[in-house]
Amino acid sequence: MTPTQDALAPGANGGIQPGRYYGRGLPYLPLDDYPGRIIAIEGSDGVGRSTQIRLLRQWLEVKGYGVVETGWTRSPLMQPTIDLAKSSNTLNKLTFVLLYATDFADRLEKEIIPALKAGFIVLSDRYIFTALARAGVRGVDRPWLRNLYGFAIAPHLVFYLKIDVESLISRVLQARGMDFWESGMDLKLGDDIYDNFRAYQSRLLREYTSMADEFHFRVLDARRPIDRIQEDLRQQVDTFLTQSDVSTPAPEPART
Amino acid sequence: MFVTEWNSSALVKAATKAGKKKNALTPMTFSLLHATDFADRLLYKIIPPLKAGMIVVADRYAYTAFARDAVRGVDRQWVRDLYGFAVRPDLALYFRVPIDVSLDRLLARRVKLKFYEAGMDMGWSASPAESFRLFQSRVLEEYDHLVDEYGLTVVEAAGSITEQQKIVRRHVSALLEDAR
């Protein structure tokens, strides 16, 4: 798709105007200038995304915006299959990528696009960048991946909660420990789960860093206290919503 | 020799079945699920026998997706790129049959046409037979383009099975002679 000549809003990704398809899109679902907005929060496992999203959602709702949340592998169609595949370790890197893409497509058509049409703010816990990072680390061809996700809509804002591997390790160990997939055990990068986690997450962080330039992420230092990060997040979202035409909050459902 | 069938991987079966049962698949998720199935079979069922020097006979290949997904409105080039990981077959046979013959054959065998097979998800007709005719006619048009684009070998499938089999064996023999 040719990027339009309109001025790119801050946070526009990869030269594509927010709210448009990255690539060839879904020809049977042409996009209009929908009133809704997509705000994606990206970052490693255990970096604090869910907490930040919960707080951001509360704040947006108090301000009167309609908010819809969507999250990784949460589509009713694909979640059981993805869980099954993970539990049996039968995933190879290609099926891994394609299952995630199917999950994303299902949520895009059934959750994200309808919410955009209805003027909601879509808070996305991870977006396509998690898929690009995980597959990139596993050696899947990068141009092929970007083409695959050509049906995704460029978000209006992408926040990347950035952390270094040392801080991530202590945080994950304190919270719940390391699991098989988060440690990239399928890649066999080391003998034990700790070595694997460190090597795998370091590679993932490098992928995110290179995408931060490619897709113009807004990088937030995730090592700071929760409320400091949230303050930063709210301030940037507020500026964005005020500047774009989302100044009118979505109509509230009628209350009696 | 090893035979692999379209849409048969155990991994994806559950999701495809659930989606089809509820008629919950969109053209895009339909396309991606079939690609996932293909990827799973390619890595576990197609590449290993190829490496072992066996002949793999695939009942449908990526061309089925190229034809069907395009009719459902998925971008043609996107689907071709999606299957960029597939191994190009040494021989691709396309059994071409007029729409009336294929409809008669299906109706003779089964009571009911399947929802997606008849393209009912497109909402072109409430009658399964009519929907099948409309949908599969467009699929056949797509195949006609694929014949040139990918050099598919056409076998006219309106004739008798014996006649078709003779032709198939001739093509396969020629291929195997060349490979020697």
Average pLDDT of the residues in A130-148: 93
Q: What is the pLDDT of residue B24?
A: 84
pLDDT tens-digit map of A140-191: 999 999 999 999 999 999 999 999 999 998 888 888 888 888 888 888 887 7
List CB contacts of A103: < 8 A, sequence separation 6 or more.
A72, A73, A74, A75, A77, A78, A79, A82
pLDDT interval class at A5 (50, 70, 90): very low
Does residue A11 surpass a pLDDT of 50? no
Give mean pLDDT, residues A229-234.
Answer: 98
Q: How many domains does chain B have?
A: 2
Are residues B75 and B13 part of one domain? Answer: yes
Q: Does B78 touch chain A (CB under 8 A)?
A: yes
Q: What number of C-beta contacts closer than 8 Å exist between A and B?
A: 84
Residue A14 pLDDT grade (very low, low, confident, very high; cuts 50, 70, 90): low
Tokens read off for A41: 């929060």
CATH number at residue B35: 3.40.50.300
Domain boundary among B63, B88, B113: B88
pLDDT, position A144: 93
Q: Is the pLDDT of residue A46 over 90?
A: no
Amino acid at B138: R
CA gap A172, B178 in Å, rounded: 59
Run of H or E residues at B58: strand B56-59
Domain edge (last residue) among B39, B73, B88: B88
Last-in-domain residue among B25, B60, B88 = B88
Query: Least CB-CB distance to A77: which of B15, B27, B74?
Result: B15
- Looking at the fold, whether B68 and B96 belong to one and the same domain comes out as no
Q: Where are the domains of chain A?
A: 37-164+217-243
Q: Cβ contact (<8 Å) for B78 and A95?
A: no
Q: How far apart are CA A136 and CA A250, in angstroms?
A: 38
CA dihedral A168, A172, A177, A181 (to 10 degrees): -60
Taking CB atoms and an 8 Å limit, are A24 and B77 in contact across chains?
yes
Residue A129 has pLDDT above 70, yes or no: yes
Task: Say how many C-beta atoms besides its own lie within 10 A of residue A55's C-beta.
Answer: 17
Options 2.60.40.420, 3.40.50.11900, 3.40.50.300, 3.40.30.10; CATH of A37-164+217-243: 3.40.50.300
Domain holding B152, by residue range, is 90-180
Interacting residues of A98 by C-beta distance below 8 A, sequence separation 6+: B32, B35, B36, B39
Q: Mean pLDDT over residues A64-88, rounded? A: 80
Please give the pLDDT value at position A87.
Answer: 66
Whether residues B81 and B3 fall in one domain: yes
Backbone phi and psi for residue A221, each to the nearest 5 degrees, phi listed first: -75, 110
Task: Tell me which residue of A123, A22, A139 sits closest to A74, measured CA to CA.
Answer: A123
What is the per-residue pLDDT for A3?
A: 39
- Measured at the CA of A89, the angle between CA A86 and CA A92, to 5 degrees, comes to 95
In this prediction, residue A227 has a pLDDT band, given cuts at 50, 70 and 90, of: very high
B98 plus B53 within the same structural domain: no
Q: What's the pLDDT at B108?
A: 84
CB contact under 8 A, B35 and A105: no
Span A29-49, average pLDDT = 92
Q: Which of A77, A102, A147 sits opposite B24 (nearest CB)?
A: A77
Query: What mean pLDDT value characterizes chain A?
Result: 86
CA-to-CA distance for A119 and A151, rounded, in angstroms? 21
Q: Given A78, A98, A108, which is nearest B35 (Cβ)? A: A98
pLDDT value at position A72?
83
Q: What gap in Å lies between CA A214 and CA B21, rounded to an integer?
A: 40
Low-confidence residues in chain B, pLDDT < 70? 11, 110-111
- Test B18 with A26 for CB contact under 8 angstroms: no
| Residue A12: pLDDT over 50 | no
pLDDT of residue A96: 86
Establish if B29 touches chain A: CB-CB under 8 angstroms: yes
Interchain CB distance below 8 Å, B78 and A23: yes
> Which has the higher per-residue pLDDT, B55 or A8?
B55
What's the pLDDT score for residue B170?
97
Say yes or no to pLDDT of A91 above 80. Answer: no
CB–CB of A81 and B24 under 8 A?
A: no
> Which residue bears the tokens 């949520």?
A107
B43 plus B128 within the same structural domain: no
B75 closest CB neighbour out of A24, A81, A101: A24
Q: ipTM of this predicted complex?
A: 0.87
Summarize pLDDT for B56-81 with one digit per residue, the tens. 999 999 999 999 999 999 999 999 99
Is B15 touching A (CB cutoff 8 A)?
yes
- Kindly determine whether residue B39 and residue A95, on different chains, have CB atoms separated by under 8 Å: yes
The yes-or-no verdict on residue A251 having pLDDT over 60 is no
Indicate whether A102 pLDDT > 80: yes
Q: Are residues B104 and B38 in the same domain?
A: no
What is the pLDDT at residue B91?
A: 97
For residues B156 and B72, membership in a common domain is answered with no
Query: Between chains, do B27 and A28 touch, taking CB under 8 Å as contact?
Result: yes
- This prediction's pTM: 0.88
- B22 and B106 housed in the same domain: no
B146 and B79 fall within a common domain: no
